[in-house]
Amino acid sequence: MLLEFQRVRKEYALPGGKTLTALHTVDLAIRQGETVALTGRSGSGKSTLLHLAAGIDRPTSGSILLRGREVSSLSDRARTRERRNTVGLLYQFFHLLPHLSVMENVLLPAWIAGDPAPASRARAGELIERVGLAGRERQAVEQLSGGEMQRVALCRALMRKPLLLLADEPTGNLDDETGRAVMDLLFELVTDADAALLYVTHSDEVAARASRRLAIHSGRVEGS
């Protein structure tokens, strides 16, 4: 199994000593090559679940396993290393560095990981071409449209060949048609790489593309 949640609970400490339970005893399993849509109301725990899957945050109790290895109990440093090697992330508001170029944004994960520069540039160039942005490598991303920015973010997320791509409302800031084009590319590239995809969406049309759907209600996941 690629990703497993075993009785995962997440509580947040609130000011005044209270706690908020964002996830209640979540069990889930995602296999290599699966595409899974996660839907639920605002505040239901979707981003919390993705952050835990990415190892950005740790569960209050329960275990999270990546490729059978428990990551929830690792140190922050080891979890970060695991994330960089295994997981790619895509966000609603892209989270690009606006003043850097398309190429620089895509190369960023490789720089951080200390990957060899020539091979990284070649891979970045291939990805940029694949998403239809060939010729735009040196342009600052702040000059791009939303759909173009999300395509750059997709290249960056895939730069280090993740096994698992996590996308938090990747079309939430795009018009329908642009969102469709981004999802087309996302599915194409994830399928080619035989990676798994877990994405959050509010759109039924976007969710319908997944091989499996999960719904979350007040921190409880229901699968189908």
- Candidates 35-43, 65-73, 95-103, 137-145 — which segment interacts with ligand ADP by CB under 6 A? 35-43
Does residue 47 touch ligand ADP according to CB under 6 A? Answer: yes
CB 97 within 8 Å of CB 105: yes
In the list 44, 86, 120, 171, the residue contacting ligand ADP (rule: CB under 6 A) is: 44
DSSP reduced 3-state for 36: strand
* 42 interacts with, out of Mg ion, ligand ADP, none, CB within 5 to 8 A per kind: ligand ADP
Rounded distance, CA 172 to CA 177, Å?
A: 12
Does residue 39 touch ligand ADP according to CB under 6 A? Answer: no
User: Bridge-partner residues for 167, per DSSP?
Assistant: 90, 199
Does residue 72 touch ligand ADP according to CB under 6 A? Answer: no
DSSP code, position 197:
E
Rounded distance, CA 1 to CA 23, Å?
A: 21
CB 3 within 8 Å of CB 55: no
Question: What's the closest the beta carbon of residue 92 comes to ligand ADP, in angstroms?
Answer: 10
DSSP readout, 39-85? E--TTSSHHHHHHHHHTSS--SEEEEEETTEE-TTS-HHHHHHHHHH
Does residue 201 touch ligand ADP according to CB under 6 A? Answer: no
* 45 interacts with, out of Mg ion, ligand ADP, none, CB within 5 to 8 A per kind: ligand ADP
Does residue 171 touch ligand ADP according to CB under 6 A? Answer: no
* 12 interacts with, out of ligand ADP, Mg ion, none, CB within 5 to 8 A per kind: ligand ADP
CB 54 within 8 Å of CB 74: no
Does residue 44 touch Mg ion according to CB under 5 A? Answer: no
- Per-state percent for the chain, helix, strand, coil, to nearest 5: 40, 30, 35
Does residue 47 touch Mg ion according to CB under 5 A? Answer: yes
- Candidates 39-47, 114-122, 151-159, 170-178 — which segment interacts with Mg ion by CB under 5 A? 39-47
Residues of the shown chain interacting with Mg ion in the complex, contacts defined by CB under 5 A:
46-47
Residues of the shown chain interacting with ligand ADP in the complex, contacts defined by CB under 6 A:
12, 20, 22, 40, 42-48
